[in-house]
Amino acid sequence: MLRIGMLTSGGDCQALNAAMRGVVKALYHKTDEIEIYGFKEGYKGLMYSNFDMLTSRDFSGILTVGGTILGTSRQPFKLMRVPDENGLDKVEAMKHTYHKLNLNCLVILGGNGTHKTANMLREEGLNVITLPKTIDNDLWGTDMTFGFQSAVDIATNTIDCIHTTATSHSRVFIVEVMGHKVGWVTLHAGIAGGADIILLPEIPYDPDVVADAIKRRAKAGKRFTILAVAEGAISKKDAKLSKKEYREKMEKKKYPSVAYKVAEEIQSRCDQEVRVTVPGHTQRGGSPVPYDRVLATRLGAAAAELIWNKEFGYMVAIRNGNITKVPLQEVAGKLKVVDPKADIIKEAKRTGISFGDEKMKD
């Protein structure tokens, strides 16, 4: 009997269900002798032995369904070694649940923090296979994470919708896109949506440069300007502050988010009205786009093959269009950020897009 534990951890996103479906369908294609334990609300379910026994029927009809049928929660890696309010040793509790159920493998779907904990469980002797989930596409070791393309599609659609009202009212519109530490979603959605200015966490901006780009458009007869701003975008001045100093500055100014800070900076330098749009968690929701359904299915099927072959301790990834495996210890703790010198940045600048870091040449 093959006994598989499965959990989804961290923020939800599109195609989590599709990925789990891929794992289960591929395993059932090999044998009917399977027991699947679905842990509720991520690592919390593993800690407190809160699970449902699932069958292949539970994974039928969920390819196009967003979110996760198992539920999820955020369990910070830095607190994993800290006992809970009742003194429970979380790591030992997770190991106890694993061994109590006599699991052959634990399948974990998640992002950066999730992979740190998954690698820790591997180090503790558990058989673990992971799948790369995050809309941010910031997991090291894979070219793409499922959920990313779906989020880009939603953010792009928001920018598309802003175009008509921006044109009608001759305004500056800021669309705040998800991405605290990395700007992959903002970069792709900004280019795809025709944003005039893109601000990323990896490229600190100068408010004067941003204002200059807006004024140049107005001088050229352009009635509006659209900015795609990552929620982790930061000015060159603020980038010099410590994390604590920056947090205190944002709290003192009482900005709801960075987009409102950028709006204030623009408003004080330009004559045009500025409006902010924050699509927020809509970027995580809805049905996964076809690309993510295909990717998640491929990754899930590959994970099943690793389980069948008893190859544990890997994250399933896609590189150069091919599905492969990457050792967990190489993935955990590493972040894949946007390189300011990357070709995609250079190419975007050639089309006239400003990243707020340097003034455009005449």
Annotated active-site positions, please?
Answer: 136
Using CA atoms, how far apart are residues 182 and 197, in angstroms rounded to an integer? 17
Using CA atoms, how far apart are residues 69 and 239, in angstroms rounded to an integer? 40
| Phi-psi category of residue 41: left, alpha or beta, with phi > 0 → left and psi -120 to 50 → alpha | left
> For residue 184, which phi and psi values (nearest 5 degrees)?
-60, -45
Considering only CA atoms, which of 91, 112, 140, 62 is closest in space to residue 296? 62
Q: Is 302 helix (H, G, I), strand (E, B) or coil?
A: helix
Cβ-contact 119, 106 below 8 angstroms: no
> Would you give the DSSP letter of residue 9?
-
> For residue 122, which phi and psi values (nearest 5 degrees)?
-60, -45
Burial of 9 (0-12, 13-18, 19+ CB in 10 A): buried
